[in-house]
């Protein structure tokens, strides 16, 4: 079970790398870019550098059997994330979802600080294009509360499940699981008419559960 809370509203924004104490600056809501004006005039002289986003989260109430994640659905083009002055994680790449677990960083009052950088970099692609490399947090940001035993939310920004179909009708399923080993993961595949066409189960071993299901008479496209 997951509880997802959107936190797009009520951020502070400041051009440049501000201190991690309450940074002041402009009050904004997400999605946001600092190149809305200078990046749209065709002059190719828009600001590319580090800017600061900050939000006070307050207390996040969780149970002893729950973990908390911060989810960013798109930040251009790289960022460093801090909670209460402590580094939570770094992400490079402006076009993918990523998450960090923040359970151990929480306190009664929580201040989230995100340094976003759209500077030209040799280790972040694309490096050349016919569009503006807008900087900012330009997609949703969410708080996710999940049971301690859950599909791995930090697995490349996905849902912890990898499905590989094969033309012979075999469906390979890989699940990445946080929590205790020994749990059964059950699988069911339904047709577009909601008919059950394949099912199975496997146990979690070393954080992974794998199975291969077969669908008879697959219709290839």
pTM score, two decimals?
Answer: 0.88
pLDDT at 121: 86
Mean pLDDT confidence for 3-9: 97
Torsion of CA 99, 134, 119, 128, to 10 degrees: 110
Query: Which SS3 state, helix, strand or coil, does residue 44 take?
Result: coil
Q: Is the dihedral of CA 174, 176, 177, 180 positive or negative?
A: positive
68 SS3 class: strand
Q: Is the pLDDT of residue 130 over 90?
A: no
Distance CA 89, CA 107 (A): 18
What was the pLDDT predicted at 23?
65
Mean pLDDT, the chain, whole residue set: 92
pLDDT digits (tens, 9 = 90+) for 165-213: 999 999 999 999 998 888 889 999 998 899 999 999 999 999 999 999 9
pLDDT in tens, 102-125: 999 999 999 999 999 999 988 888
pLDDT at site 79: 97
The per-residue pLDDT for 17 is 81
């Amino acid at each position: 079970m997951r509880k997802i809370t959107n936190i797009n509203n009520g951020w502070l924004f400041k051009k440049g790398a501000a201190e991690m104490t309450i940074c002041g600056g402009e009050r904004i809501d997400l999605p946001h870019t600092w190149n809305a004006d200078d990046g749209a005039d065709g002059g190719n002289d828009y600001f590319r550098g580090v800017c600061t986003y900050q939000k006070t989260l307050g207390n996040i109430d969780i149970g002893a059997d729950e973990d908390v994640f911060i989810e960013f659905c798109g930040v251009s083009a790289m960022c460093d994330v801090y909670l209460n002055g402590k580094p939570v994680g770094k992400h490079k790449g402006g076009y993918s979802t990523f998450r960090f677990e923040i359970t151990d960083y929480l306190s009664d009052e929580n201040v989230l600080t995100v340094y976003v950088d759209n500077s030209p970099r040799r280790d972040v692609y694309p490096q050349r294009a016919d569009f503006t490399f807008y900087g900012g947090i330009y997609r949703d940001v969410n708080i996710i509360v999940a049971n301690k035993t859950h599909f791995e939310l930090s697995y490349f920004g996905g849902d912890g499940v990898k499905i590989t179909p094969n033309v012979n009708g075999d469906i390979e399923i890989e699940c990445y699981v946080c929590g205790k080993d020994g749990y059964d993961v059950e699988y069911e595949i339904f047709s577009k008419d909601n008919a059950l066409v394949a099912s199975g189960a496997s146990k979690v071993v070393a954080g992974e559960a794998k199975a291969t299901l077969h669908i008879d008479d697959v219709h290839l496209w």
